[in-house]
Amino acid sequence: MSPRRVVIVGASLAGATTAVTLRRLGFPGQIVLIGDEPHPPYERPALSKAYLAGEVDVENLLVHPPGTYTEFGIELRSGSTATALDVPRRTVRLSSGEQLPYDVVVLATGSTNIRPPIPGMNLAGVHQLRRLEDADRLSAGLRSARSMVVVGMGFIGCEVAATARGYGVDVTMVDRLSGPLVGPLGPVLSGYVRQWHEDHGVSLRTGVDVAAFEGGDGVEAVRLADGSLLPAELVVVGVGVRPATDWLADTGLHLVRGAVSVDDSGRAGAAHVYAAGDVAAVREAAGVHRHLEHYRSAIDQAARVAHAVLELPLPSAAPSWFWTEQYEHILHLAGDLDGTRMSVRENPFTAFFTRDSTLTGIVTIDNPREFRRGMRQIGADVDLSALADPTANGSRSPVQL
């Protein structure tokens, strides 16, 4: 039987997509979408780029136009926080004390920033970026600051650094790892990103930890573990995120590195419980879990959850992919880079990743057309000798046999 009430916890990209997809698939029952922010669901990628730079406004970030939820009969409860889930009784407890019953619950609470225990984290001028209000405060700081230290060279750190240079702020990036985005990209591709930042005047300090943030009324400097002192009127700390699952304690749900274990349809181990987006870890072959914190993955997982709730055939799974924009460059990545061989074609840059003779992943720089073409070939057998051939015909895929 079709459920009568679906409660979606998390007015995120995944949560909003699940709600609207259910309606578009013909679900006639009640849909309640719960979000702890006072805004309609919005997309976060631009917070570190175009929104932070003042190039787009809030309306351009919304997942759906404001009237969509009323039009589709979705009860959007903004500014409401879920505090507990009672699986046997099928209820969600809200911060107001209300016990909200459900037939099906979808967990889409996303991630929260990791807050490192660095002395001085509470000083004025030390920021983290996750929500609209965070971006607003940081944007105001960038308009007057002369110097900034970015702690962490992941996506947020790199994109914020690039945006800050657009404001004319002197930027130093610090990370204990060997280079920007070295975790997801590896050392070779990280070198390209490093060059972008150095070309735009950013100083990079790698292989060193932060010891403390120092100052009086506000941050004035960052002390590194090697004893050096970096001047900073502004600091941004972006050292990673973790799934927002603290409120699920004592539910019996299986968590993998903090994320809810689900199958490929988004079903969790408990009956009538689903999860999508950053909060979900998808169980694959041999019990291996894949946790993807990407924009496109949130949309795809939400669509599969909506189909599964209505017991409809699942949409075909697409390779995971993401992008990052820094300065005048855009890097796209799709598929799996682990345990692979890399073949590179320059001008414009394209890297193909293969395991045996199978294309598993592709990375492009300033080459979206080749990225779209290559992404369609992921999982196919390829001609290894053609991958790095700069004379390959650009009008067709150079990798398909």
Asked if 165 and 206 sit in the same domain, the reply is yes
Asked if 304 and 223 sit in the same domain, the reply is no
Q: What is the CATH number of the domain that holds 349?
A: 3.30.390.30
User: Is 397 within the bounds of a domain?
Assistant: no
Asked if 229 and 134 sit in the same domain, the reply is yes
User: Is 393 within the bounds of a domain?
Assistant: no
Largest CA distance in the chain: 66
User: Is 375 within the bounds of a domain?
Assistant: yes
User: Is 294 within the bounds of a domain?
Assistant: yes
The reply to whether the predicted model has a pTM over 0.95 is no
Q: Which amino acid is at 152?
A: G
User: Is 13 within the bounds of a domain?
Assistant: yes
At residue 139, the pLDDT reads 97
Of 321, 335, 271, residue with least CA distance to 90? 271
Asked if 232 and 163 sit in the same domain, the reply is yes
b or e along 32-64 (b: 16 or more beta carbons within 10 Å of the residue's beta carbon)? bbbbbbebbbbbbbbbbbbbbbeeeeeeebebb
Asked if 205 and 246 sit in the same domain, the reply is no
User: Is 87 within the bounds of a domain?
Assistant: yes
Asked if 151 and 235 sit in the same domain, the reply is yes
Distance (Å, whole) CA 312 – CA 309:
8
Distances (CA, A) of 90 to 6, 7, 17, 252, 254: 11, 10, 22, 13, 17
At residue 390, the pLDDT reads 63
> Considering 239, 256, 282, which residue would you say is the last residue of a domain?
239
Asked if 146 and 196 sit in the same domain, the reply is yes
User: Is 117 within the bounds of a domain?
Assistant: no
Q: What is the CATH number of the domain that holds 33?
A: 3.50.50.60
Task: Give me the half-sphere count of Cα atoms (radius 13 Å) on the Cβ side of residue 320.
Answer: 15
Asked if 67 and 147 sit in the same domain, the reply is no
The answer to whether 130 and 34 have CB atoms below 8 angstroms apart is: no
Distance (Å, whole) CA 196 – CA 200:
6
- What is the number of domains present in the chain? 3
At residue 394, the pLDDT reads 41
> Considering 239, 273, 294, which residue would you say is the last residue of a domain?
239
At residue 399, the pLDDT reads 39
Q: How many CB atoms lie within 10 A of CB 307?
A: 18
**Per-residue pLDDT in tens (0 to 9) along the chain, 401 residues:** 578 999 999 999 999 999 999 999 999 999 999 999 999 999 999 999 999 999 999 999 999 998 999 999 999 999 999 999 999 999 999 999 999 999 999 999 999 999 999 999 999 999 999 999 999 999 999 999 999 999 999 999 999 999 999 999 999 999 999 999 999 999 999 999 999 999 999 999 999 999 999 999 999 999 999 999 999 999 999 999 999 999 999 999 999 999 999 999 999 999 999 999 999 999 987 678 887 888 899 999 999 999 999 999 999 877 889 999 999 999 999 998 888 899 998 888 999 999 998 999 999 999 999 999 999 899 999 887 777 666 654 433 443 32
> Considering 239, 259, 288, which residue would you say is the last residue of a domain?
239
Asked if 108 and 251 sit in the same domain, the reply is yes
**What is the domain range of residue 152?**
126-239
Asked if 102 and 141 sit in the same domain, the reply is no
Locate 91 and state its tokens. 């209820």
Asked if 195 and 227 sit in the same domain, the reply is yes
Asked if 164 and 188 sit in the same domain, the reply is yes
User: Is 316 within the bounds of a domain?
Assistant: no
Residues in CB range of 133: below 8 A, 6 or more apart: none
Locate 316 and state its tokens. 């075909």
